[in-house]
Amino acid sequence: MSSPTPIRITGVTTLVVNAEMRNWIFVKVQTDQDGLYGWGEASLNWKTRAVAATVEDLEPLLIGKDPRDIEQIVRILNKHSYYKLGIIGATAISGIEHALWDIFGKSVGLPVWRLLGGQTRNEVRVYTHLGLGDMRSVYETFDEGALRDKALAVVEKGYDALKVVFIPYSHYSVDIPSRRHVGRLMKVLREAVGESVDIMVDFHGRPATVAGALQYIEELAPYSPMFCEEPVQPGDTQALRMVTERANCPIASGERLVGYKEFEPLFEQKALHIIQPDLNHTGGILEGKKIAAAAEQAMMGVAPHNPNGPIAGAAALHYDISIPNFVIQEEMSGAVPWYDDVVSTPMRRVGSAWQIPHAPGLGVEINEAEAAKHPFKPEVMHTLSAVLGDGTIVDW
C-alpha cells in the first residue's frame, strides 16, 4: 500500500465507548487514500468530554498534512496551540499520534515496532490488577480474604505478576494500626501467590510526607515487592529521591507526568529505579521513546503505565518491543465481557507475556456498530471516597 505521492489528512473524529468503569476515547484519523485511516486512543478518566472536544479543536491543525510526518505534526499541535495544553491536551495529542503511527505502518505494510527501530525482545512481559478489569476490585480491596481470593484468580489466569492498591488514605502522619494492616495484607498476598509471582504495590501518592511513605514501605519490604509505585505525589523530585534513597525495595513513578521535560528532573537526580510513562497521556509514542532513552542513560528501567483501553494497549505493545530497558507492561485486556466484539487487537497473551505482532500498523480494528452500543456515561467517581473520618480531603 506504499505510495510515492503524499498522503493527506482529511478529518479527525472521536468515538467514545463506555467500558462500565471508565470511558475509552478512540481517535480516528482519515486520509485521502481509499481505505487508509488510523486508530489511536486518548482515554483520560473523568475528562472524557474535555478530551474529545480538544481533539475537535486540534483537527484544523491537521487537515492537509501528511500523516507520516509525525514529529512535525506533534510539534505543530504543541506549538500552534499557544497555551500549554496540560494533561487534557497531551492526552488528545497522544491519541492523534497513535493514529498517525497506525497510518504510517499501514502505508508501508509494516508493524509500528519496525518503524520504531525494530525488535529488542521476543515477548513482552505483562501484569494485571485484582479483579481482571473490575475497577472496584482494584481500588476497594482492603479485606485479607478478598485480597487472597482475587490474587489467586489472577494467577489462575496465567499471570506471574500483579498489582495491588491497598495503601490507606493518608495524611501527614501514619497511625500504627494502618501500618500493621498494610503489613498483614502484604503477608497474606505473598503467602497466597508464592515467591514466583511478582507483586507491585501502588501507593497512588497517598502519603503526604516522605516519612509516611517510608513507614508503609518498611511494612512491605520484607515480602519483596517488585516495586512500590508513586509513594509520594508527582512533581516533588526531591521528596521522591529521598524515598528512593531510603527504601529497601525498588521505587517507580511517572504515570502523571506530561512530556520529556517533566521527566528530566527525575533523570538528573536519579530519583527512582523504574520510570512509568503513560503513552496515552505523555504525548505519544515518540515522546515515550525519548523518555526511555534518557531513562536508560540514568540506569532506570521502563514499566509503562496503562490501565486504559485496547488501542492504548496496542500502542504500548509496539513501544515495549522497541525499547531495550523495558521491564514489564500494565494491561487491562478483556476488561469487559464484550471487549472482543468491539475491538480486534494485536495483543496475544501466552502465560504472562504478549507475543510479537506482525500485522501492519498498530494491528487494531474497531467495529463501530458494536462500539455504538456502549455510548458515553459518566464514570464512577472513586475519588469521592478519599476523605478521612474527620472530613479532611486527602489524595486518592
Distance, first Cα to last Cα, the chain: 48
Which amino acid appears at position 109 of this protein? G
pLDDT tens digit sequence for 233-264: 999 999 999 999 999 999 999 999 999 999 99
Q: Give the pLDDT of residue 135.
A: 67
pLDDT of the residue at 305: 97
pLDDT tens digits for range 340-371: 999 999 999 999 999 999 999 999 999 999 99
Angle CA(353)–CA(359)–CA(364) in degrees, nearest 5? 80
Give the other-Cβ count within 10 Å of 234's Cβ.
Answer: 17
Fold (topology level) of 9-111 = Enolase-like; domain 1 (3.30.390)
pLDDT in tens, the chain (396 residues): 455 789 999 999 999 999 988 999 999 999 999 999 999 999 999 999 999 999 999 999 999 999 999 999 999 999 998 888 899 999 999 999 999 999 999 999 999 999 999 999 999 999 999 877 666 666 677 889 999 999 999 999 999 999 999 999 999 999 999 999 999 999 999 999 999 999 999 999 999 999 999 999 999 999 999 999 999 999 999 999 999 999 999 999 999 999 999 999 999 999 999 999 999 999 999 999 999 999 999 999 999 999 999 999 999 999 999 999 999 999 988 788 999 999 999 999 999 999 999 999 999 999 999 999 999 999 888 788 899 999 999 998
Based on the number of CB atoms within 10 Å of its own CB, is 111 exposed (0-12), middle (13-18) or buried (19 or more)?
Answer: buried
Spatial CA neighbour of 234 closest among 256, 216, 251, 213: 256
Q: Say which residue the cell 507483586 belongs to.
A: 199
Sheet strands (E) in the chain: 9-18, 23-31, 37-41, 124-129, 161-164, 198-202, 227-229, 251-253, 274-275, 301-302, 329-330, 343-344, 349-350, 353-354, 365-366
Give catalytic residues, as residue numbers.
204, 305
What is residue 245's predicted lDDT score, i.e. its pLDDT? 97
- Put simply, whether the predicted model's pTM sits higher than 0.85 gets the answer yes
**C-alpha dihedral, 49 to 50 to 52 to 54, nearest 10°:** 160
Homologous superfamily of domain range 115-360: Enolase-like C-terminal domain (3.20.20.120)
Q: CA 308 from chain center: how many Å?
A: 6
The domains of the chain are located at 9-111, 115-360
The pLDDT assigned to 290 comes to 98
**pLDDT digits over 52-84, tens only?**
999 999 999 999 999 999 999 999 999 998 888
Please give the pLDDT value at position 332: 85
So what's the pLDDT on residue 132? 76
Q: Tell me how crowded residue 137 is: count the other CB atoms within 10 A of its CB.
A: 20
Helices (H), strands (E): how many in the chain?
14, 15
Fold: same for 9-111 and 115-360: no
The set of cell numbers assigned to 97 is: 499520534
DSSP 79-141: HTT-S--HHHHHHHHHHHHHHHHHHHHHHHT-BHHHHTT--S-S-EEEEEEGGGG-HHHHHS-
C-alpha cell at position 2? 506504499
**Dihedral sign from CA coordinates of 342, 343, 347, 348:** positive
